[in-house]
Chain A
């Protein structure tokens, strides 16, 4: 059974930093691209970042480019999101999502999400 379990979400002050983690199991992690998708309270889905199966390629939404860094450790079946210079508008539930393939496509599994609140 595929499982994605996010962690690391907390309340952080504007300008602060945070690292989210996603522990994956139930599939061959290094065969698939992985994504972070966020959802602000009461709002829709916003794609945040993508990393290729080997970590060699990374992509970001314009809203987070230069502030967030996605990475993965295939030996630990884990995905990460380093978030710096956090803003109030980064407040959201952050989902880890598995791509259906090694190249960007659609998402066949999602975690339950971890809540990031940026507030003073």
Chain B
């Protein structure tokens, strides 16, 4: 099974500042035949189900603000929020879908306002 490890576990960032969350997979999730990274990011606000933000490591889901961006390839990935807004307070999860089943998620990163 592919193990997904996020860092940090929690993060406090000032409003308007950049927030960066990292995700590392135990093996590459890059499929060489199509050059796609099978990696998604989700946002979960308190009391709500997760919401898809990013797929293929860097493609924003429709309706997701452009302050959210995903980058990385192979085993190392980053979710960046360019200018933190109050509504971005949430737990963020990465998920690999390169080798499924099982689907595997990172442990989550809690993002708060400093």
Contacts and interface: CB of A to CB of B under 8 A. Distances in A.
A113 B49 contact: yes
A44 B100 contact: no
A47 B93 contact: no
Given A107-B50, A108-B61, A112-B49, A47 B101 contact: yes
A50 interface: yes
Interface string B95-108: 10100111111111
A47 B93 CA distance: 13
A72 interface: no
Contacts, number: 60
A104 B105 CA distance: 14
A49 B101 CA distance: 9
Summarize A's interface: helix, strand, loop or mixed.
strand
Contacts of B42: 45, 107
A103 to B, nearest CB: 9
Contacts of B103: 35, 37, 47, 50, 104
Interface in B1-55: 38, 40, 42, 44, 48-52, 55
Contacts of A46: 105
Interface of A: 35, 37, 44-47, 50, 59-62, 95, 100, 104-108, 110-113
